[in-house]
Amino acid sequence: MSFDINNSGPGVSDFILLKDLSEDGLLQNMKKRWEDGFIYTYIGNVIVSVNPYQPVNLYTKDIIELYRTNDTRDLPPHIYSLADITLRTMQYESQDQCIIISGESGSGKTEASKLIMEYIATIAGKNSRQITVEHVKDQLLNSNPVLEAFGNAKTVRNDNSSRFGKYMDLQFDGNGNPSGGKINTYLLEKSRVVTQQPNERNFHIFYQLLNGAEPELREHLKLKESAKYYKYLNETADDIDDANINKESLNNIINTMNSIGISDKDQLSLLEGIAAILHLGNIHFEPLEGGSNPGSKITNIEEVEMAAELLGIDSETLATALISRSINDYAGRSKKAIIVPLDVEKAEFSRDALAKALYSYLFDFLIQKVNDQINSNDADDTQKHVIGVLDIYGFEIFEKNSFEQLIINTCNEKLHQHFINYTLFSEREEYKRAGYSWDTNFYFSNQLERSKEMFQLIESKDKGIFALLDEECLMPVPSTTSFLNKLDHYHINHKYYDSFFWLKHYAGEVDYSINDFVEKNNDTLHSDLVFALYSSEKETFRELIPKSKVAKTSRVSRTPDTLGMQFRTSLANLMKNVTSKTPHYIRCIKPNTTKSSTYFDESLCLAQCRYLGLLENIRARRQLPKYAVPIIQRTWRSYRSHCLLNGMKKSVIESGNDWINIKWEKEPANEKLKEAFNNLKYIYYREMVSEKLLIFIFIFIFFFLYYYCYYYYYYYYYYYCIYFN
């Protein structure tokens, strides 16, 4: 599809203008537009994007320039429109902005974030220091392949699914000129390092390293070529030696790291850490023969030696830390450490905990190196403004839903609650500005109440799901049965909980497989392993460990950090970041599960529309004060709003509907509203008359000048002939 400035596509380009305001009307309009290549549609100031699953010619420099120099509402719906509004709002109102991109895995969220950043970086550079803008733009966009290699993985729904939340800030100085950037990451799915669901894979970087390493690098890392030799990669039914994995991908990643300023030393450290994780996964334990202590031993010590050499630590220290742990005897007089041997199950748990922690540290190290290149420290923080872009994995419902899905879905519940809160607040404020009484929007009010009850179930400090799970992990012998009994005891009568751990999320009911919840939540890395890694002779690996982690392991902690605790802390930081800014929304829709560019699965899309609340959003914005009055007010104030009215009128005319006969969701309730509605009609007719009058005046002037010139031509020609004859 080629871009046409005068073609907004079939149906209506803004769902607010739908004549058939129903689920079927919404779906048919979306389907019709998607099949014709129009993947974007408005809901007021919200963008709905449907993944095209094919290349589209919508993102050229010429199109960027069109949206920069024209009123975006006079142009077809586009993601550039929202990016332009966000940038101008930040510049004119001096307020931090945030673009929240939501949707299922595979709906195009990551691509949307790339397009947003590219537009903002390109446009902001028109009136500022071009070198700074190009540097920040290149760093942010070039870092994407590296972040995808370390943070993305193949899932049953998406071959390149983001398994972490990425929040990117573009920083601007007090004059609105770009000055730098920063990347924050949240909720890395580090459990994927040690286990994956059937037909899924580990993070891309493992396969890229095995397939693309040069012989010299492979020998240094002591790696074999096939993924089938490594436990952390070979326990899935997926084709782990897929020939489609590009052998040049590792070189591309290395070249990208070079381009964003990551040194050769740091690159090698990252790859050494990845290889060490693969060797850790291959360490095998067996029970000790004889004796009363249920200890264990390592049967393939060579894997320990290879991992230890890559990490720069003593192999005996690492081996000892894997099969035993020391506990300080604070009750005794000597206060010496007591060595407690670990059985096979606990030793495997320690090994996996080290692998997950190491990968998480490497990922944070990578993010820090990228930020070192783009973060601005020149200006005072009080003089900075930022535009943030949040790209985080969407709601997930699989055949088997584990602890990771609970974390992901809880995060999406939180973002949905934020959307409801902001929509209610902005609607109420707009009513007040227009001088109308507040009339509660029942859908959003009910959704807000539902969210509060859901988070009481999940996050309550004493009896919430995460609190009960943490409590179970502190038991001498934690068990799944005990945890499930506690859930049923406290929540069996809760409206959003069913026995055997069914939760009724806003996006649908989810049956969670609770069998491994306790093991996955108990993510504690005991102090011996922390100090073993901290004893590395390689500075990079010593610096990986947060100082707070080293300090904490030096003292007794009655409440060790569980994965649930880490998640809640990370989620709180994310929401603090998001709620401090003015939000803008992009709702991404996945049209089918087969990645077809021609098949529109109506049932799948309807489910997504429901849990994103699209129809209710349309209804809220169709109410007269929300929709008509701002148009009236802006139209009287400026010519720009005159263009806005014409743009909306054009959209309605193209759809075959009559602008003035739109059925409002809520009819005027008082004299002031009736007056506003009549003013809207007056403005419409006035504009129509003005257009026709202008055409008449133009025609009149044209003929006047024509006959005027004709008359004088023959007048002078007549006297010329008489004079010379």
Q: What is the pLDDT of residue 278?
A: 97
44 has pLDDT over 90: no
Q: Three-state DSSP class for 240?
A: coil
Compute the mean pLDDT over every residue in the chain, rounded to the nearest whole number. Answer: 80
pLDDT per residue as tens digits for the range 58-91: 999 899 999 988 877 778 899 999 999 999 889 8
Residue 106 known to be catalytic: yes
644 has pLDDT over 50: no
Residue scoring higher pLDDT (547 or 415) = 415
The angle that helices 61-69 and 79-93 make with each other, rounded to 10 degrees, is: 50
Q: Which residues contact 46 (CB under 8 A, 6 or more apart)?
A: 584, 585, 586, 587, 617
**DSSP secondary structure string, 375-417?**
---SS-GGG-EEEEEEE-------SSB-HHHHHHHHHHHHHHH
How far apart CA 580 and CA 97 sit, in angstroms, is 9
User: DSSP strand E in 313-467: where?
Assistant: 324-328, 337-341, 385-391
The band of 122, judged by pLDDT with boundaries at 50, 70 and 90, is confident
Q: What is the pLDDT of residue 633?
A: 39
pLDDT per residue as tens digits for the range 666-709: 444 445 545 555 555 555 555 556 556 667 777 778 777 777 77
- Exposed / middle / buried, residue 665 (Cβ in 10 Å: 0-12, 13-18, 19+): middle
Domain of 426, CATH number, reads: 1.20.58.530
Residue 484 domain-assigned?
yes
Q: What is the pLDDT of residue 238?
A: 60
366 has pLDDT over 90: yes
Q: What is the pLDDT of residue 481?
A: 92
Residue 436 domain-assigned?
yes
Average pLDDT of span 361-379:
83
181 has pLDDT over 60: yes
Average pLDDT of span 396-420:
87
The band of 471, judged by pLDDT with boundaries at 50, 70 and 90, is very high
Angle at 625 between CA 621 and CA 630, to 5 degrees: 90
Its domain, for residue 415, covers 408-521
Residue scoring higher pLDDT (658 or 254) = 254
581 has pLDDT over 80: yes
Residue 444 domain-assigned?
yes
Sign of CA dihedral 571, 572, 574, 579: positive
Residue 110 known to be catalytic: yes
Count CB neighbours of 407 within 10 A: 25
- Calculate what percentage of the chain has a pLDDT beyond 70: 76
Residue 468 domain-assigned?
yes
Residue 388 domain-assigned?
no
13, 29, 161, 522: which is the annotated catalytic residue?
161
Residue 681 domain-assigned?
no
pLDDT per residue as tens digits for the range 602-617: 999 998 888 787 887 7
Average pLDDT of span 320-342:
75
As given in the structure block, the two tokens for residue 269 are 């450290």
Tell me the range of 245-259, 341-355, 363-377, 445-459 where mean pLDDT is highest. Answer: 341-355
13, 81, 105, 191: which is the annotated catalytic residue?
105
9, 11, 106, 151: which is the annotated catalytic residue?
106
Are 215 and 387 a contacting pair, CB within 8 Å?
no
How far apart CA 211 and CA 646 sit, in angstroms, is 57
Residue 421 domain-assigned?
yes
Q: What is the pLDDT of residue 171?
A: 85
Residue listed under structure tokens 């509402």: 73
The band of 625, judged by pLDDT with boundaries at 50, 70 and 90, is very low
Residues contributing to the annotated binding site for ATP? 103-110
Q: What is the pLDDT of residue 217?
A: 95
151, 394, 464, 647: which is the annotated catalytic residue?
394
Residue 473 domain-assigned?
yes
158, 360, 410, 521: which is the annotated catalytic residue?
158
pLDDT per residue as tens digits for the range 264-310: 999 999 999 999 999 999 999 999 886 666 789 999 999 999 999 99
Q: What is the pLDDT of residue 630?
A: 41
102, 110, 113, 360: which is the annotated catalytic residue?
110
- The strand pairing partners of 46, in sequence order, are 43
Residue 161 known to be catalytic: yes
Residue 105 known to be catalytic: yes
Residues contributing to the annotated binding site? 103-110
User: DSSP strand E in 419-566: where?
Assistant: 497-498, 502-505, 508-511
pTM: predicted TM-score of the whole model, two decimal places: 0.80
162, 202, 269, 401: which is the annotated catalytic residue?
162
- Structural domain count of the chain: 1
Residue scoring higher pLDDT (442 or 350) = 350
331 has pLDDT over 80: no
396, 404, 413, 472: which is the annotated catalytic residue?
396
**DSSP secondary structure string, 192-219?**
GGT---TT---BHHHHHHHHH--HHHHH
The band of 638, judged by pLDDT with boundaries at 50, 70 and 90, is very low
